[in-house]
Amino acid sequence: MRQQDMTDHGLRYVLYTVEDDPTRDYIAGMQEIAADAVAKGAERLYDDARDSLARSTNGRVRAERAVTCDGIAGREIIIDAEDDTGANTLIDRVFFKGNRLYQLGAIVPRGTERDAVVTRFLDSARIKGN
């Protein structure tokens, strides 16, 4: 597995690429959110995250559902997109706690988004402290 620490538009995240399967990327990130954005409320922040993800991937939102992580309510967003590697699916889980957005995601070939390894990665998230 290759790990790459990155910053994009203020979002600090780690991109994990599975060396024996370059068609899959796993992402974990955290971003501090401005007070005026936090004041909009969690549902608006989840909607904004969904819309931003769909735009940035040129994808189409297939599904959304409520999820929790360490007692924190969040949202799982599934987006179908196509790029130079083919038909892919982004499964992204977004959580807000205080003034922070936590993100855990997987970009995988379409049709493999419910594979055990993907579910295990997404279920591995823990949000501790502030």
> What is the model's pLDDT at position 33?
85
Per-residue pLDDT reduced to its tens digit, 1-23: 566 665 555 555 555 555 567 78
Positions of the chain with pLDDT under 70: 1-20, 129-130
Report d(CA 109, CA 90) in Å as an integer. Answer: 9
Residue ranges of alpha helices (H) inside the chain are 35-38, 42-57, 116-123
Q: Which domains does the chain have, with CATH numbers?
A: 29-107 (3.10.450)
Q: Which residues contact 17 (CB under 8 A, 6 or more apart)?
A: 1, 2, 4, 24, 25, 26
| Furthest C-alpha separation in the chain | 43
Per-residue pLDDT at 32? 84
pTM of the model: 0.83
